[in-house]
Every structure is written in C-alpha cells, then in structure tokens.
Structure 1
C-alpha cells in the first residue's frame, strides 16, 4: 500500500450502492477514513461492516463506518456523490456541504431498446456536477470517477489499469480529487479541464457500457501522452 499524501475523512453519499461501496473500499484501502452514507444509518452500517471485513489484513487501511447521509457529511473533509440522478437535487440540497470539497461521480443516464445514453441536462448546458454546484454554492464541486467500473472497484486487483479524469473550476479542489485517484489507479488523476466538461464525461459512461456489452468486459479510460511525473 502507498501511503496517501494527505489522509482525508471522506463521506460517500450512496455508499451502500455498488459504486459508492467500491469507492469507499478503495479509499479506505489506501489509509483514508471513510463514512458510508445512506438514507438511514441502519442501512449503511452493515455495508460498512462488509467493507471493513474486506480490508482485513490490509496494512495501514483506514476505518470504515456507516451513518445517515447528513451525519456522514457533518465531519467530512470530502463528500463524494455516488448517487442516482433521480432524486439527486433533493439530496444535495439537504446536505450540510458548506466549505467542503464535493466530488461528483453522478452519471445522468437513460436506457431504451438501443442501450444506454446520456440524458440532456438543462438543454445541453448543464450536468449533474454543475447542478450540485448550483445547489451548494458554498461548497466546491469537482467531477471525477465517472467512468470507473463498480465491478472492478470491488475487485481483487490492488490498482485498476485506467486513468481518472477530473474536472472543476477550483485548482485546489481538483487537487484533492487528483490525489484521491491514487486510491483507484495508483497514480494521480488527470486534470481534464473546467467543471462544464462534466457535460462530456458523464454521458461518456454510456459509451463504456456499450463497449462492455459488446466485448463482455469492464472497460476503462487510459490517456496517452501525459507525463504524470514518473508515476
């Protein structure tokens, strides 16, 4: 295990779902303190216990606990939104996010007979990440981890062979997500631009779903030609 440069207390909203649980596991595996949030603590606690059991024997792993969404956020440095798009706005508006770095990995997708596709948000001029920023103006929202397979997050590999793309308008907040990406890929995330580019990252997950269906795999993204400082 590589010690994190900074150890964060991370609240994962949607922590009982596949993506939230997988991200929580990866963060805790690398020494971060994780609180899995859910509508009720009673639902979150057993999942936290499952993640804790998975971490048995991992040297230097952080602790994992479960709490209600609001309780999970209250003491967190970083809040990860790993929730469905349906009900997203009501949840975000209810959370105590002032002064926190918020990492959105919400993908507004729809499905029909032709497969997955991205939903159009705000007439094509919005995204889940931008909606979260508008609803929580005193927080700093970045987008990241949109395109990482929940199956692989919960897998046995120490690191996933892919890159995490990070978008946001704050250099400092992007730096937090770029560092947290080490927990998934073993290397820093890639600064992919401003928050509005979440409009491209979020629906791109539908492309990966299509690839996965065709090739029976769990596809990810790798970016060539970028120097990550020897990582």
Structure 2
C-alpha cells in the first residue's frame, strides 16, 4: 500500500485543518461489519480512501453487505476497496481492526481473533434497555469498559483505542459527504495509536478526532451513547457530540 506522511492533531489549529491531506491509506478490518454501525463506518472509511474488509460470522453475509457498500462508492473519487470475509479472515493482513459488535459475547469473540500487531479500535457500547429506556451497563464494578476488556484480552500483543462510540449509524449511512456537524471522541493509552485513529476520524467528520484522554475514560464515553439514544427518542432526531472551544 502506498502512503503519505501521517496527519497529527496536536493543536486546535490542526483539529480544524483540512484532514484530507497527508493521510495514510490503511487496510481496515471491521469485525461485525454487517451490522448498522459496522457497515456505516466501513462505508465511511472506504469513502475516505481506505481498503476495508467487512467481517461477519458467515462469509457469504459479509460478501453481500460488502457488495452493497461497494455499490454506494461507485463514482466516488479515490475510494478504497470493500470486500467481505469471516471475522477472523478479515483481521488477517489488517493494520487496523474495528470492533463493532454487541457487548454480549464480546470477550469470547475478541479472544478468538488474530489481533497481534494491530491497532484495535473499539466502538462497543455495553448498553441495556428496559421500560425506562437505554442505560449503560456497569462493567467490572464500575472500574472497566468494553475497550479496557479488549485490551486485557489482547495483552501486549495489540493496542486498543476507543472511538466512534457516539456516531449515529443512520448518519453514517446517510448522504452527507462528511458528518461535519459532529466530533469523534478518542481515548487510549498509547500516543501513536491514538493519533492514528484521530487521523482516521477525518474519513467520517472531515477533520481529526478529539483526544479525550486515557483508555479508562471509555467508562464514561461508552454509556454516553445511552443519553444520545434517549435524546433521539424524545425529539425524533439523530443527535451527536460536538465539542466547542477549538
């Protein structure tokens, strides 16, 4: 794969800069790529010029969804490729792996994936629903999150970064060239991996993501999605996060 110098996001000026210049072309595996969130992010990443493999438990299902995404990219200048495979096969050869799977069964699935040497992006939101609506689940007695669970499972073989938790699947699959009305919060413990994911956010919003702190702050970012779901249901909209002050 060819590449150009990587974009960084060290200052407010960089955050507002044109993120389309100086980006690296990644091979991205989307585990759970046939669900609304995985399909939508896969579409945005490919639209931004990255090569995407949508993963699923069944290869034929992944291939069908990949064909649907590829059809939407016809005529998009500079778009990357989109293919489908099983979750494990999708990870083979990828440098970035997005986890877009339900919390139920998350740990068991992550343990089976070949993730060594990759940067793993978790957008998993451990949520539950009852008569009062959506709410965040308490993970490890309040001292854990889906992202931290993934990091514990992969150990030192891979680096986990949390991002894209609060982006609406409906907006991702929408017609806007980029989702300029929202920001992506990025959390992680390894600076280089976090900067890679922040640069990738430009495929979605048109600008780098926002460094929101260490990986443990996924404990706050993940359940925030339940708040947005509540807003959406109350006002019949697709709400998002926008950070001001830059």
Q: TM-score range by the shorter chain?
A: over 0.9
Map Cα deviations across residues 150-190 of structure 1 (whole Å, 9 max, x no partner): 00000000111100000000001101110110011000000
* C-alpha RMSD of matched pairs (Å): 1.0
Residue matched to 1:139: 158
TM-score after normalising by structure 2: 0.90
Give structure 1 stretches of 5+ with no counterpart.
227-231
Moved over 4 A (4+): none
Offset at 1:2? 3.4
Length, aligned pairs only: 226
Map Cα deviations across residues 31-66 of structure 1 (whole Å, 9 max, x no partner): 000000001211100000000001011011000000
Cα separation, 1, equivalents of 2:45 and 2:147? 21
Residue matched to 1:43: 61
Residue matched to 1:176: 196
Cα separation, 2, equivalents of 1:36 and 1:43? 10
Residue matched to 2:244: 224
Residue matched to 1:154: 173
Cα separation, 2, equivalents of 1:2 and 1:54? 20
Cα separation, 1, equivalents of 2:209 and 2:33? 21
**8 Å Cα contact 1:3-1:31 kept in structure 2:** no
Cα separation, 1, equivalents of 2:185 and 2:87? 26
Indicate how the Cα distance of structure 1 residues 74 and 59 shifts in structure 2: closer, same or farther if over 3 A, else same: same
Q: In the alignment, which of 181, 187, 190 is matched to residue 167 of structure 1?
A: 187
Map Cα deviations across residues 63-119 of structure 1 (whole Å, 9 max, x no partner): 000000110001100000000000100110000011100000000000000000000
Residue matched to 2:148: 130
Indicate how the Cα distance of structure 1 residues 147 and 80 shifts in structure 2: closer, same or farther if over 3 A, else same: same
Higher relative contact order, structure no. (Cα contacts within 8 Å, ≥ 6 residues apart): 2
